[in-house]
Structures are given as C-alpha cells and as structure tokens.
Amino acid sequence: MNEVRLRKVVPDRKQYRFYRMFIQRGLFGGYAVCREWGRIGRPGTTREDWCSTLDQAKVMLTQRAAAKVRRGYTDWSNDA
C-alpha cells in the first residue's frame, strides 16, 4: 500500500472532506509520507513527514489511514 485516498461525506453536518496520502522517495535518500487534506472540490493543505526507510514510511501511512477510518473516512480509491 503506497497510496491511500479517503473521503468523509456527512451532508447533515455539511462535511465534504478528502484525505490523500502517498509515499515518495526523497532525492537524497529517505522516504516522505505526503499528505493532502481539505474540502472536496478545493485545494487541500499538504504536509510531508520523513522516514529513513520504506518500512517505516509504510507503517506511518497505515497507522494514519487507520486513524482516519476510525474517524469516519471511507475508501475513495475507485473514483477518478
């Protein structure tokens, strides 16, 4: 799992959110877990968290994805 795309849609609370994460190799070594989140249809906020190994990056991505799913986000990978 190198990319995760999630969304949370709750019309009653006017929540239309997305959360995207992927792993990218750094130019000088290391791996970045890149995250983007925000309102669907708008540019999102981005952040990179760096790890020294690919295994650490995969663990971080998996943990963050699990936390978002616990908060009500669902898989959005099949959409364009």
The answer to whether residue 51 is domain-embedded is: yes
The answer to whether residue 80 is domain-embedded is: no
CATH number, domain containing residue 18: 2.20.140.10
Write down the pLDDT at residue 80. Answer: 46
pTM for the structure as a whole:
0.84
Concatenate the DSSP letters of all residues of 11-63 into one string. GGGTEEEEEEEEEEE-TTS-EEEEEEEEETTSPPEEEEEEESSHHHHHHHHHH
The answer to whether residue 50 is domain-embedded is: yes
The answer to whether residue 42 is domain-embedded is: yes
The alpha carbon dihedral of 43, 49, 54, 57 has a sign of: negative
SS3 6: strand
Q: Which range marks the domain in which residue 71 is found?
A: 3-75
How many structural domains does the chain have? 1
The answer to whether residue 60 is domain-embedded is: yes
Write down the pLDDT at residue 8. Answer: 95
pLDDT tens track, the chain, 80 positions = 689 999 999 999 999 999 999 999 999 889 999 999 999 999 999 999 999 999 999 999 999 999 999 999 998 865 54
